[in-house]
Amino acid sequence: MTSDSGLPVPAWVSEVDQLIAALSPELGELPYDATPLRLYRQQELYAGFESSNSFSATIDQQIYRLARKAGDPPIGPVQALAQRLHDHGITVALDEFRQDHRLVGVMGGHALRRGSKGYRQAVMLGRSIAASGRCVVTGGGPGAMEAANFGAASSNSSVAEVDQMLDQLSTAPDFATDADNFIAVALEVVASIKDPVDNLSVPTWFYGHEPSNPFATHIAKYFSNSEREDGLLAIALSGIVFLAGGPGTMQEVFQDAAQNAYKTYGRTSPMVFLAPPDDEDYWHRSAILPALDHTFTAYDGSRRPGWDLLNATQDIETTIGYLH
């Protein structure tokens, strides 16, 4: 395996390979590479699906069964070591990818159904971000994340072609109802996209019961959710667009706000709140914007860094104008 840039294999790779080989009696045969030199592609994670038409038979789910799942007790130290080494390799590959892309995060609910107005809005958002020369990055799951990745990947297609693909996706609207058909339809649509545009997702096996959406051309999948979450928000230097969502999206809003307010990574970046198509007051009614007003206000009444980069709109074109 070579890195995306074709750079020489780092010296640490052989050292880690030797360590994993020494630990193989306890580890057994791993379904993942502990020294990945590049980001995943959907064909790798979904290997096994075509012959079985079963999500549980994929390489992705084989890896998930080895991971520490949400709510599970910690795994053994040797397996934990192998997974941490894997995540180090993914971070190195992600850093390499970042050098050539202006990343814009899109955060939103995983339960957003295909065929809904909100799903199409997220598709058009991803399309517009890609058309502006920036690169979409999401958390890699279904719902709003899938829609944004799909919009970016298909941004070289016409709106009429995208609408046809949206109609096809809407025949399997929900992962929870029929996971296998949900994935099968998505893979059919992926195969029909001509000249897909680079876009990124950063999912985790911690929540691996949900599929990593296959519309991302590059997938930085982690075992560690905390490492993934921090990194996902930190790399979106051109800004983050927030769509309606649940507790996970709310967590990302205030984690991003903290990174801005404290300049955790030495800079601030835009936070844009795109209201749903039928609810322009969503971010006020949800109390997010009032809470952020408090968050960015210091004890002496002054504004913390990043306050001037907060914006809310219901218009995608206006959203693009707020990004760096």
Q: In this structure, which amino acid lies at residue 98?
A: R
pLDDT in tens, 51-63: 999 999 999 999 9
pLDDT at 122 over 70: yes
- Closest listed residue to residue 26, CA positions, set 94, 92, 66, 78: 78
CA 255, CA 261: separation in Å to the nearest integer?
10
- Closest listed residue to residue 234, CA positions, set 220, 218, 213, 216: 220
Domain locations in the chain as residue ranges? 12-95, 102-322
Give the bridge partners for 320, in sequence order.
none
The mean pLDDT value of the chain amounts to: 95
> What is the pTM for the complete model shown?
0.95
Residue reference for tokens 């074709």? 6
What's the CATH code, domain 102-322? 3.40.50.450
CA 286, CA 312: separation in Å to the nearest integer?
13
- Closest listed residue to residue 205, CA positions, set 51, 84, 35: 84
Give the pLDDT confidence score for residue 6 in this predicted structure: 66
pLDDT classification of 123: cutoffs 50, 70, 90: very high
- Tally Cβ neighbours within 10 Å of residue 113: 16
